[in-house]
Every structure is written in C-alpha cells, then in structure tokens.
Amino acid sequence: MNDELQVYIDGKYYPKSQAKISVYDHGFLYGDGVFEGIREYNGVVFKLKEHVDRLFRSAHAIMLQIPITKEEMIQAVVETLRKNKMKDSYIRLVVSRGVGDLGLDPRKCPKPTIIIITDTINIRAGNAKETGITTMFSWVRRNPVDATTHEIKSLNYLNSVIAKIEANACGVDEAICLESSGCIAEGVGENVFIVKDGELLTPPTSTGALAGITAEIVEKLAAKLDIKLTVTNLTPFMMFTADEAFFTGTAMEMVPIREVNKRIIGTGKPGPVTKKLMVEFQKVIEDPAQGTKI
C-alpha cells in the first residue's frame, strides 16, 4: 500500500513524488494564478467556505475563470483530506491560468489548472506564542494597489519572498512591509495589529494588504470583548511606541511581536490585550461550527 500523500490535480490524484504540472503552465512561467492556505483542526477545515470565497474573488480580479463551482471546490478539498486520512493539516489550494505557450497571453491557456495539497506547515520559531517574535521593516515596499496588489492572493509572491530573504539575512524572524508612502501594510504573509492605551489598531487594505480571514476573526473578537478597534494608517513610529503588537494569519494564527528593528515593543512580552485575544481565538478554532467537517 502506498502511504505517500495524495495530491489533487484537475480531478485526479497523484502520489506526492509524482504530482507534476507542465513547464508550460503559466502559473509556473509567470506566477499567473491564485491560491489559498487553509487549516484543518481535528477533522474540521477552518473557515473553508470563507477561503474558497476569497479564492474566487482573487480569480475574478485577474479574470481567471475557475472551471468548477465553489461547492465542487469545497468537496474536492474534503475528499483530498479523506484520501490522506488527515485530521490536522495545512491545505494549499492553487488555481493557475493553466498550460499555454511561451508568450504571456492568457488567451493561449484554454483550461486553468487546479491543485489541492494537504500536508503540514510550521512557520513559527519554537515557543513564539509565549515569547513573541523579532521583526524588522524591510526596504521592499508593498506593490501599490494599482499594480500587482496584495489585495489579490496571487501566485506572484516575489515581493514577500525578497522581504523574507532580508529578514533571514538580518537574523530576525519576520519582516514587515511598508507601502509606497511609508505606512505599514502587512508582514510577508500576515496582517499586523498594534495595541495602544488598550485600543487595537490595524492598517486598511487600501495599503495593499490582503483582507485576512484570521484578521477578520480578531476584529469580531475585539467587538465581543469590547476592545475598541480602529482601522487606520500606521507609521513605523506608531509600531515602535506601541504597547503591544501581533501578527495574524492562517499559518501563523496569532503571534505576538516583541521587537521591531531592535526596538522592544512594550515590555517585550505578550501584553494583556494580545493574550486575551489569543485565548478567545483558540476557542474559535476549536469550535466545530467554525468550519467544514471531514
């Protein structure tokens, strides 16, 4: 029996070692496509419908017609998890423009490629939730909203990759990207929140940041806990002088930030507002009603 993970490609399943696409696929050649990263907790795919909705919004923005319905996409994810007998996993859902020629004209790609990978992921360092992580402002500016905006979750992630390379070279855990005017946009793959005087602040998506599903949950939890939330432009100075700060994202979940460009944030430890939100967020991801059961 083959225990290798099975990967879904265009309605068929292939062992991980044999899961391949054409070198003429425009997702590979040009980064022309969209994707979602999704988490499964204890046999429940967390916010699967919301992730699929966002996938289709991203596809619409780049005029990519996904050849199956949202309901069929959801069922394909569920079936892939069942085949791999996974109860706790990270799911990568990819739709590329598909196979074309060596020109970039999307009209040469008659059929998009759909890929579903179910595996595991760990992007946090050690006990990051307890100690917080170190960050820095990258010189790599976020693409503006009238270019390859990060409001679209596209396969073009070179902007984030270069910022991550810089963070690695500087010996910090993660990078924070600024937008063209110098305000904070987001991390390389996470939304950013700060806490000042007990209030929560986060940048708008008009900075070019992705509308995060985890960030939306945190915003709802803030309302539930009667924590004032303001969506506003954040400057590096506001981050340096914040009482608390944290990242949110599907893979990272919620992780406190303890240091930015060698400046300690607050006490250098996860603050009371962050810790309160983390406790409530954990309750949400453990609630079976928040996802799709396998």
Q: Which residues are catalytic?
A: 153
Burial class (CB in 10 A: 0-12, 13-18, 19+), 233: middle
CA pair distance 127, 147, nearest whole angstrom: 37
Phi, psi of 93 (to 5 degrees): -110, 120
Task: Report the distance separating Cα 254 and Cα 246, nearest Å.
Answer: 7
122: which residues sit within 8 A by CB, 6+ positions away? none
Whether the Cβ atoms of residue 114 and residue 8 lie closer than 8 Å to each other: yes
- Of 91, 59, 68, nearest to 78 by C-alpha is 91
